[in-house]
Each structure stands twice: as C-alpha cells, then as structure tokens.
Amino acid sequence: MSLAGMKCLVTGAGGFLGQRIVCQLLEEEEGLAEVRATDKALSPETLQRFGKLKTKTPLTIIQGDIRDAAFLRTATQGVSLVIHTACIIDVLGYIDKQTLWDVNTKGTQLLLDACFHNNVQYFVFTSSIEVMGPNRRGDPIVDGDEDTVYHDTRKFPYAESKRVAEKFVQQLDGQPLKDGSSLVTCALRSPYIFGEGSPFLLGHLDESIQNNNVFIRLSRKEALVNPIYVGNIASAHIQVAKAMRDPEKVKRIRGKFYYITDDTPHMSYSDLNYELSKELGFGIEPKLPMPLTMFYYYSLLLEIVSFLLRPFVRYIPRINTHLVTLVNTPFSFSSRKAQRDFGYAPRYKWEEAKELTSQWIAKVAPLRRAYLKNKTL
C-alpha cells in the first residue's frame, strides 16, 4: 500500500524526529496530496531545510500550540493521517510536571479530539521505551518484546506522561467517526534516537569538547541498550501508516504498540557517543567517575540539595538518580513483532547510519568549539 492521495499532518515537525519524517514523506512518498508540518515554532534552519527538498508534494507550515484545541481543529481539517511526534522529553526536571503533562498527555488527547471532529481516520503515535522502564531498582531487560512482563511502580514525570498518552491512543482505536468510518491507531515505542541533528548528542559533544575532546562516561560498559538511527524510526512511522491502509495488515496492528529497533550494535549510551566520533579524534573516559552505588547516592545528595534550595533558588543538577539508573540499566528490545505484523524493515544499515552521523559531527564540532570558546571569553 502507499499513501497516495492522502493529506498527512506531522506534529512536532520542528523537532529532531518530526523533521526527518517530514523530509522522508516529501522526498520519498509519491502522490501525497499534502504534508502539513506543525509545531509551536519552526526555526529558520528547519524552514530552510524543508525549502531545499526536491518534491512535488505541497508542504504547508502551520505554527501553533499542541495545547490549543482550536488550533488543532484547524490543523487537522481535511487530513487523513496524523503522525504525532510532538512532546517534551525531560529526564532532569528542567520542565515542571504540569507542563509535561499538558503537552505530552493532554496535548495528545486534544489532538485525538480534533481527529474525531474532522474524521481523521489514521493516527500514529510516537511512544518511548521509557513507558516500560527501567524501574527504580534498575531491573534489566535483554531482548524484550511486546509480551515482556516488567514490574514498574515508578512515577517519573516524562515516562508517566507518555504512558498515559499511549494508553489513551490505544483505547480510542476502533471508535466510530462521524462519516461512518472508525479511527485506526498505533503506537511505536522508540529507544534512544541518534543521528544528524540530535540535540542530546550535541550536548554530549559540547561536554567532550570542554573535557579535552573526551566524552564523560555516565554509563558502564555492561549497560547494553539498542539505540536507533533517526532515519529508521522515521521510516517505521511511514511504514506502519501504509500498513494501516492494508485491509489484512490493519487487523493485526490497530490499537497495538510496537518496539522499533535496527541493527545498531548493543552498547551503552556513553559508548555510542564514542563509537560515532572516535574516528574524528574523540576519546572516552574508561570508567564511571565513581563506583555505581556511590554514583547513585551522589546523585541523590544533589537532588536533596536541589530540594532544600527550592524556596530560595532554582538549582537543577545535571545528574539525578533517575538518569543514573536509566543509563546504567541493560535495557534492549526486539522489533520482530513489527517485522511480522506490518513488514517493518530498517531503511539504513548501521555502517551507513554511523557514517552519516560521524559526517555531521565532523561538520558541527568546529562550530561548537568556536562557540564554546567565545562563550568563555
């Protein structure tokens, strides 16, 4: 099946993943009636990137807030497919809990309400493996799947906001629309995403430059995870959207969630940074700054200090117990079910993904060095 004739709305189109989905839709999908790119704000760089694309598909830029019900009704009018990537990712507590909830959870509910109002039939939701965990104990998962049972009673704000939003998306699958059809939904749980333009990778790059081109190790080597290249998770959204139009495949996928992975080697988060940049002369610290248990309690101490200072000054530590647990827990999954149910296949192999990301690092590293040098003057 194809997306020919469809009008597609991509939320969060100014973000790392959303941009890539818009680009793939415009460059690789023939016959689309329209692609609408929405976000609260799209940078001049993003608009310039879209403007350079070679495509026959009309692109409409609509800027507005995911929390604005009236805006969402306007944005979804006449649309057949919504790919919802807009969210706030926060593991350090920079964003207050209410804002996280309003954007990630309530924003998803408002968007679905707009879909019902405008008879939008297909809805693909970008979820996260953090919906599953890891839990506070750091219980590992190795090669997990959609049937894996995992005990998790934590209430980390970002993970909770995505968990509730995903559940809401699943529950509304099959609900009747005003035109007599029914809503078809699916959620894709993504692991950590790397690739050109990654804001997280850019932040780690800045830290390494300030540390004499050596990445600071936050995760132990044994904490194996399976990150995914941005081009592959973007492609997965489009592949499942196509499957939704297939009378046979849609029976298997509607209302379901899927883990999406690729052939990126299993490694720790810190070792991924090094693997992507070692040919450019970057190094990595050989071990954690202190034993893992001590590292955890050091982070806990910083959280306590932050709490005590809250009435007087806003101090957000750059490390906390949640992040220490997150990056030091073996946590990997398989995409076999996605391959079986809707034919998911990664578009890029690891070597190509690594090369493209390394080329981007080589391009931005001198700019970051100059910026950081001027910043300290």
pLDDT in tens, 110-149: 999 999 999 999 999 999 999 999 998 999 999 999 999 9
Termini Cα distance of the chain: 57
pLDDT, residue 19, reads 96
Q: Provide DSSP, 152-193.
A: -----HHHHHHHHHHHHHHHTTTPBPTTS-B-EEEEEEE--E
Helix (H), strand (E) counts: the chain:
14, 13
Residue 340's Cβ-count burial label (10 Å; 0-12, 13-18, 19+) is exposed
pLDDT tens, residue by residue, 196-215 = 999 999 999 999 999 999 99
What domains sit in the chain, N to C, each tagged with a CATH number?
A: 7-198+226-266+331-349 (3.40.50.720)
User: Which pTM does this prediction carry?
Assistant: 0.95
Q: Which residue has the tokens 């690789």?
A: 28
Residue 313: Cβ within 10 Å count: 7
pLDDT tens, residue by residue, 324-360 = 999 999 999 999 999 999 999 999 999 999 999 999 9
* Residue numbers annotated as active site: 158
Q: Which residue has the tokens 């990595």?
A: 284
Residue ranges in the chain modelled with pLDDT below 50:
none
For the chain, percent of residues with pLDDT exceeding 90: 85
In this structure, what is the dihedral angle of CA atoms 215, 220, 222, 223, given to the nearest 10 degrees?
-90
